[in-house]
Amino acid sequence: MSDLQKSLEALNLALRTEEEGYKLYKSGAEQSKNEFVKSIFQQLLKDELMHISLIKRFYAELNQSGSWLKMSAEDKNYKGIKGEIKTIFSQALEKVKSGKETITDTDLKVYQKAIDFEKNGVRMYSQLYQETTDSKAQKFYAFLRDMEQEHADILDNTYQYLKDPNSWYMQKEGWTLDY
């Protein structure tokens, strides 16, 4: 199999993976009654759509010209959920204070599935990075790997919040109880 064929197959795998992520977050957003969970999943949906679009663009160029695109400044500067997380958390804090927000076991299970999914994405993009020698392909896979790692970290952090919001705020604020 040629390097081009291997690269196209790798991009197809990446595309299928991102589409699976989209379905996971869409389902999670639709099923949850918790506005915080919905907000997180809706932002992750946007990120997955960006990844899908990016992969399709890179695939089309590679398939047509036989060479990798260079990552654009716009692609590199995409903030996604990282740019929205403070707003989402501040809105969640208001609901927690008012006692209006509830967390279900289903929310926690979907969150755990999402964390596992993102960690698998990190491993996949790390492997694809290692399997190529093309510097543009490596930058592409590194970008996606780093985005997946951000997603995993944010999901893990918000999972801890969902399990116990009060303890989460105490830890984040550095509160301690002195005896």
CATH classification of the domain holding 17: 1.20.1260.10
Q: Is residue 33 part of a domain?
A: yes
The per-residue pLDDT for range 80-139, each reduced to its tens digit, is: 877 887 787 777 767 666 666 677 888 899 999 999 999 999 999 999 999 999 999 999
**Per-residue pLDDT, 175:** 59
> Per residue in 8-66, pLDDT tens?
999 999 999 999 999 999 999 999 988 888 889 999 999 999 999 999 999 999 999 99
Residue range(s) defining the domain that contains residue 26:
3-166
Q: Does 139 map to a domain?
A: yes
Q: Record the pTM.
A: 0.88
- What pLDDT sits at residue 110? 92
DSSP 51-120: HHHHHHHHHHHHHHHSSPPPPPHHHHT--GGGGTHHHHHHHHHHHHHHT-----HHHHHHHHHHHHHHHH
User: Can you state the angle between helices 35-65 and 135-163, rounded to 10 degrees?
Assistant: 170
Let me know if residue 179 belongs to a domain.
no
Q: For residue 160, how many C-alpha atoms fall within 13 Å in the half-sphere facing its CB?
A: 11
Q: What is the pLDDT of residue 99?
A: 66
What pLDDT sits at residue 154?
92
Helices and strands: H and E segment counts in the chain = 7, 0
pLDDT tens per residue across span 125-135: 999 999 999 99
What is the predicted pLDDT for the residue at 81?
78
- Would residue 176 count as lying in a domain? no
**Domain tally for the chain?**
1
Residue 137 domain flag: yes
* Residue 39 to residue 91: CA distance in whole angstroms: 10
Exposure string over 132-145, b if 16+ CB within 10 A, otherwise e: beeeebbbbbebbb
Does residue 140 surpass a pLDDT of 60? Answer: yes
Burial (0-12, 13-18, 19+ Cβ within 10 Å), 154: buried
